[in-house]
Structure 1
Amino acid sequence: MQEKSLDYLLESGTKRVPKVLWMPLGLANLKALPTTFKYEFAERPHLWAWAGDIGGKPERAEMMRALDEHASAAQIIERGVLRPFRGYAGRPGGSSAAMNVWEYSMLMRRTKFVPAPAGVSAEQFRIWEAFEAGCIPIVLAKHTAPGQVLYPLKFLGFEVVLLESWGDLPDKLLWLAEEVSHNPQVHARKQQHNSRLWARVKGAVASRIAQSVCEDGRPAAIE
């Protein structure tokens, strides 16, 4: 990532909404775990994992349908973890089938790839939590096009797996399983690249917020 790339996003944001700065949505359910629970990419037992609300979300419904109807559905599910539920689990009183935050955090750190079908928006906590936990997100290519909400992923150079539709996910997961088996270091290097880049993005965002709040090391005057 070139520094000017992140500076451009932070300063200009989206041209359709002037004076709005771009910054990642951030983390919601991922919690810090002891270093003893840190797994290298190759050591992670789950090829993929997804847990979330499917109610009224077309992309997620399409993903579920594709996984359910695929000829190798059993083999694909066996390689990962799938926990769909109804009702947003991030609020008190959410779905009783939802994972608690510690279970979710452990799952993410034991997973290689994380599908991220859109919920309310194509941008979601899950994408940034994936980078924080060392997973590689799987997203739709159309959401990373210029002007789209996930364009910063491409603009900044994050390594993600791109799909044309969620109907392609089952075959892509089978392909990833073979790729990881035969070329384990390829995706491990991508994961390491994402982790370094995510750390730089977080640092740059924090610095820019500090600069906006403070002036010459002192709190900015409030008019």
Structure 2
Amino acid sequence: MRVEPITWELLAGHLAERTLATTSADGSPWLRLGIDGAPAARPEDLAARIAEELRLRGRGVLTVGTGGFLRPASLRYEYGREDPDTYLSGWFDTGALWREVLGPLDAGGSGRVLPDLWDPGTDRATRSPHVELPHGGVLLLHGPFLLGHWFPFDLTVHLRLSPGALERRTEAADRWTLPAFARYEDEVAPGRAADVLVRADDPRRPAWSGLP
């Protein structure tokens, strides 16, 4: 896929403008954007930039990270603390993301989103209050392995790191996760599945595929 150099600032602006021109496919009054990427690619940073651009344009925004929707430690570590297959398919509570984050933003939904559910530090529920997203508002959900679940996103962005860059930028203690990302690449092909591909090997010089 052909990509062109861009700055993070321009990228966020283009994605915000595309959001403003988007109509939800299911008639929902809310829009749902997915920012997919390994922790080393820092998808939360791009989500924050897009959120700021949308707020400057008068849109209500809520950013939610999948790190707040981990499953309990007893389930995450059922096959050991460093099992890459479980990391790919068993660490994140996709059912809770459907129920508490995406479902309320369906057409006819309440608009009341739970911003996080589980604190991995205490291994207990966070008990955070729901947040009501106003009509016309935008959800930005960021984290790894977002594609391939049929989540009802209106726009998806994948931050791609080459295997070498992913290894270099992943902390040594977390390199056991690398096979999970290799499997995700093989099985889901997120660079082709996403609406927008961003190559982020050099965090100072991203390149993107352009808007669909």
The question of a shared fold, defined as TM-score above 0.5 by the shorter chain, is answered with no
Find the structure with the greater CA-based Rg: 1
TM-score (norm 1): 0.29
Report which structure shows greater RCO (CA 8 Å, sep ≥6): 2
